[in-house]
A and B are shown apart, each in its own frame.
Chain A
């Protein structure tokens, strides 16, 4: 199969409409078609990585738990913008392992390596 690399740029917070969930569905399907997929978290999107979120309090589905399935779809590149974390006084206490924290400049450079970007 032909290849096209996909970067998914997440800039919405965890439960802002269904942005994060819909982005994750896209990541999983591209992964299952053996395409290179990376998840990028920037701006409010970095909140999707924060550990110990309680979706049930707002009757939301805990889609964040499904992130742990990403390696089974060979989705192993996860990048987060350090600047966005710092702006929000967030630490690197994430609910996922193998998250690469990049400076804003390196984050932008990494994003450029992909054939295609979808933003949620």
Chain B
């Protein structure tokens, strides 16, 4: 079975993040398995639950929560990038939403090996 993995390197305010979410949703609607999403670089900011985006605009965090809860897609957050972006304070998750899992870069390798294709926008 064809499967995809995604690497998100763009912030929640970046249009490319929205496009990634739309791509993932389209894949799922077409019965393509999405093995997981790995958040790297500014992409880790997608996990920050304290980011406020005007209520009449697209809410990336809501979309990630929906994807994780509805389809059980693992959302991996790079620990090192998380630390650099203030998401981990004294080795504790600071303001990370519950749907995200802290992972090392090794998880990206595992996902890449397993997936038929890896997509980065």
List A residues at the B interface (Cβ < 8 Å): 1-4, 6, 18, 22, 25-26, 29-30, 33, 35, 116, 118-120
Q: Which residues of chain A come closer than 8 Å to B118, judged between CB atoms?
A: 116, 118
Name 6 extra pairs, CB < 8 A, besides A3-B113, A30-B112. Answer: A2-B113, A4-B112, A25-B80, A26-B105, A33-B109, A116-B118
A35 near B40: Cβ-Cβ < 8 Å: no
Q: Closest approach, in angstroms, between the C-beta of A40 and any C-beta of chain B?
A: 14
Q: Are A118 and B113 in contact (CB-based, < 8 A)? A: no
Give chain B interface residues in 69-121, CB to chain A under 8 Å.
80-81, 105-106, 108-109, 112-114, 117-118, 120
Interface digits, B47-74 against A, CB 8 Å rule (1 contact, 0 not)?
Answer: 0000000000000000000000000000
| Residues of B participating in the A interface, judged by any CB pair closer than 8 Å | 7, 9, 40-41, 80-81, 105-106, 108-109, 112-114, 117-118, 120
State whether B113 touches A4 (Cβ < 8 A).
Answer: yes
Assess whether B40 is in contact with A1, with CB atoms less than 8 Å apart.
Answer: no
Given contacts A22-B40, A119-B120, A29 and B112 within 8 Å (CB-CB): no
Contact B41 A1 (CB under 8 A): no
